[in-house]
Amino acid sequence: MINLRTYGQAPYQVAVIHGGPGAAGEMAPVAHKLTSGRGILEPLQTAGSVAGQVEELKTILEENGNLPVTLIGYSWGAWLGFLVAAHHPSLVRKLVLIGSGPFEEKYVARFQETRLSRLSEDERTEYRSVLARLSDPRAQSQDASLERLGELASKTDSYDPLRGEQEAIAFQAEIHQRVWQDAVEMRRSGRLLGLAKQVRCPVVAIHGDYDPHSAEGVQEPLSAALKDFRFHLLEHCGHTPWMERQAREAFYHTLKDELQS
């Protein structure tokens, strides 16, 4: 799998980091929107561990970026950007977290409860079944299961979604399973938030008020742990702001302001 797409022309001073893990390509609409007047990198993570993805992103930035760069990480990509900023601070000028997962374990139960409350009884049963299949290495058609989980999550995570703009996403269940297992253990143990003391750049979080990923689970821990942190809460907005009819304009306005500052 090719692990990098570029937009605009060099110098490449911004990189957009997709979520999942294992959902390569979902940040393409954001890259297209930001490309006027600037070069954008879209790394497509292929490594099967947290450490491997950190090293992969580091290498892509060193070989292609005009350092230091602004990292824009979405969902899992927000955590990955945070890890790169902590382990390789000289590479990152600013870190933007979009729809980040919570940084402490105590907020996780609320996330699952919110998602399940937005599904019908049949969909709740299917959601639990898909999660079980994804956690079973013997299960078949894992990529299709990850895609179905994305479809169900899109229903629970969206407030007023736009249709038709999302580009093709390469769902890779093996990457998702291996990386996510590492990542959740980092959060559970406190090692994830503990890395905040190594982050030197400004950090900005953009979060939707309808996102089941707890806004408090991002704002509260990072406000306490980081010296330079700002938080933007978008109204009428779910997990994917650029796909939200009522929040898209405000999202891009906020993001572009942050890129210019």
Residues lower than pLDDT 70 in the chain: 1, 137-140, 164-168
| pLDDT value, residue 175 | 82
pTM (2 d.p.): 0.91
| pLDDT value, residue 146 | 76
| pLDDT value, residue 243 | 94
What are the residues facing 170 on neighbouring strands? 24
Number of neighbouring beta carbons within 10 Å of residue 117: 10
pLDDT digits (tens, 9 = 90+) for 191-230: 999 999 999 999 999 999 999 999 999 999 999 999 999 9
Q: Is 4 within 8 Å of 27 (Cβ atoms)?
A: no
Alpha-carbon distance of 250 to 227, in angstroms, equals 26
Work out whether the CA dihedral 24, 40, 1, 57 comes out positive or negative: negative
Q: Which domains does the chain have, with CATH numbers?
A: 4-108+154-260 (3.40.50.1820)
Q: Is 247 within 8 Å of 254 (Cβ atoms)?
A: no
Alpha-carbon distance of 178 to 165, in angstroms, equals 29
Alpha-carbon distance of 102 to 72, in angstroms, equals 17
DSSP H or E run through 176: helix 173-189
Alpha-carbon distance of 95 to 89, in angstroms, equals 10
| pLDDT value, residue 235 | 98
Q: Would you call 36 exposed, middle or buried from its count of C-beta atoms within 10 A (0-12, 13-18, 19+)? A: exposed
Alpha-carbon distance of 95 to 203, in angstroms, equals 5
Alpha-carbon distance of 66 to 41, in angstroms, equals 10
Tell me whether the omega of the peptide bond preceding residue 68 falls within 30 degrees of 0, making it cis: yes
